[in-house]
Amino acid sequence: CWRQGADPQQAQTKRPHSVSFSKMMPMRLAMGYTLSAFAKELPAWIIFTGIFLPVVLLLLLLIAYFRIKLIEENIVQLNYKSGSSAPLLLKPSV
C-alpha cells in the first residue's frame, strides 16, 4: 500500500497479495495436463450424455419457460389495454 512520504518503488515490491504470472504458470500447465488426461480417458458417450445433453436440455427448458412467461405477460398487457377483466388464457373455449 502506498503511503505519503514512502518510496513508491518499495511500496510496489512489498505487495503480499500480488502473485506473479511466472509463479502461476506451473499450476496452469498442471491443470491443463490433468484436464487433458481426464478427457482422453473419458469415453465420448459419457461426455455427451453426462455433460452436453443435460446442459442443452436445461437451456432449452429455460428458453421455453421464459417464452411462456413472455407470452403470458403480453396477454395480460393486451387485456389491460382492451379493458377485459378476465385473462384470455382463462376464458373457456366452449
For the stretch 17-20, contacts whose Cβ atoms lie closer than 8 Å and that sit 24 or more positions apart, written own/partner, are none
Q: Note if the pTM is more than 0.85.
A: no
CA angle 29, 33, 38 (to 5 degrees): 150
57-81 pLDDT tens trace: 999 999 999 999 999 999 988 888 8
Residue 74 lies in a domain: yes
The cell for 83 is 379493458
CA distance 32 to 69: 42
Per the structure, how many domains does the chain have? 1
Residue 38 lies in a domain: no
CA–CA gap between residue 83 and residue 41 (Å, rounded): 63
Q: Which domain holds residue 50?
A: 43-84
Task: Convert the pLDDT of each residue in 23-56 to its tens digit.
Answer: 666 666 777 888 788 778 888 888 888 889 999 9
Domain annotation covers residue 20: no
> Is residue 19 a part of any domain in this protein?
no
Is the model's pLDDT at 21 over the cut of 70? Answer: no
Q: Is residue 68 part of a domain?
A: yes
Question: Has residue 15 got a pLDDT over 70?
Answer: no
Q: Is residue 55 part of a domain?
A: yes
87 CB-near residues (< 8 Å, 6+ apart): 75, 76, 79
| 58 or 6, greater pLDDT | 58
Residue 80, domain member (yes or no): yes
Question: 75: Cβ–Cβ under 8 A, 6 or more apart, which residues?
Answer: 87, 88, 89
